[in-house]
């Protein structure tokens, strides 16, 4: 091999090495870019979940027939940043810490319906729910689950609280329980608007 051919070969090797270095550098930056994008997506999803929407699974039958066990809801958190819950709203809330400690229940959210707000007086007569002395029309209740018991003594809801019940009145642990009582507004996570899954149950609530 002549000296010139040797030089040409060395030159080609240098060009190949430089190209490989550029490719390796480009691959590294593509990986870095992918990681940055994945982190950004994760942060965005976490922020949305924390402040706007959160998926919640219904566990139990306390909201039959409105909600079924294992229904998945999207809970919206913006409304109650600007206004208070209203009677009829379905809310996601935490019970008082004492309830979880004494009952040894898992610390998790509950799905209930607001039936009375601050200043309202709640009671039952012959299984019918009364608020401020007037019987409450509750078209969302099924005939077999409409009887409301255990509020024979009138209860007045305090400022910054709401009174919640399950739609399945005969099988719901709610504000009628002395360890639960009216729910402070700061323990309400958000408002349920519709059932997302299963698709056969998709509907607004």
pLDDT, position 196? 83
pTM: 0.75
Distance CA 51, CA 105 (A): 26
pLDDT in tens, 20-79: 656 555 566 566 556 665 554 544 444 444 455 688 899 999 999 999 999 999 888 888
More confident residue, 11 or 46: 11
- Cβ proximity of 23 and 42 under 8 Å: no
- C-beta of residue 45 within 8 angstroms of C-beta of residue 19: no
Give 85's contacts (C-beta < 8 A, 6+ positions apart): 91, 114, 117, 162, 185, 188, 191
Residues taking part in catalysis:
62, 112
- Token pair 């607001």 in the structure block, residue: 114
Q: What is the pLDDT of residues 98-140, one digit of tens each?
A: 999 888 788 899 999 999 999 999 999 999 999 999 999 999 9
8 Å CB contact between 185 and 85: yes
Residue 86 burial class via C-beta count within 10 angstroms: exposed 0-12, middle 13-18, buried 19 and up: exposed
> Which residue shows structure tokens 């994945």?
38
Around Cβ 13, how many Cβ atoms within 10 Å? 10
């Amino acid at each position: 091999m002549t000296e010139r051919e040797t030089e040409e070969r060395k030159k080609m090797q240098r060009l190949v090495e430089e190209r490989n270095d550029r490719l390796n550098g480009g691959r590294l930056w593509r990986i870095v870019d992918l990681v940055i994008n994945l982190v950004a997506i994760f942060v965005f999803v976490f922020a949305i979940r924390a402040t706007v929407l959160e998926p919640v699974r219904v566990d139990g039958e306390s909201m039959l027939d409105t909600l079924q066990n294992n229904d998945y809801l999207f809970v919206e958190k913006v409304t109650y940043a600007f206004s208070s819950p209203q009677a009829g709203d379905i809310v996601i809330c935490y019970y008082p810490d004492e309830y979880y400690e004494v009952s040894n229940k898992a610390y998790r959210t509950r799905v209930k319906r607001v039936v009375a707000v601050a200043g309202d007086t709640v009671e039952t007569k012959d299984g019918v729910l009364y608020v401020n002395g007037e019987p409450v029309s509750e078209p969302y209740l099924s005939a077999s689950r409409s009887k409301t018991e255990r509020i024979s003594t009138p209860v007045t809801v305090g400022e910054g609280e709401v009174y919640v019940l399950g739609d399945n009145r005969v099988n719901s642990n709610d504000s009628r329980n002395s360890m639960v009582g009216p729910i402070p507004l700061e323990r309400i996570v958000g408002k349920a608007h519709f059932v997302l899954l299963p698709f056969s149950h998709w509907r607004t609530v």
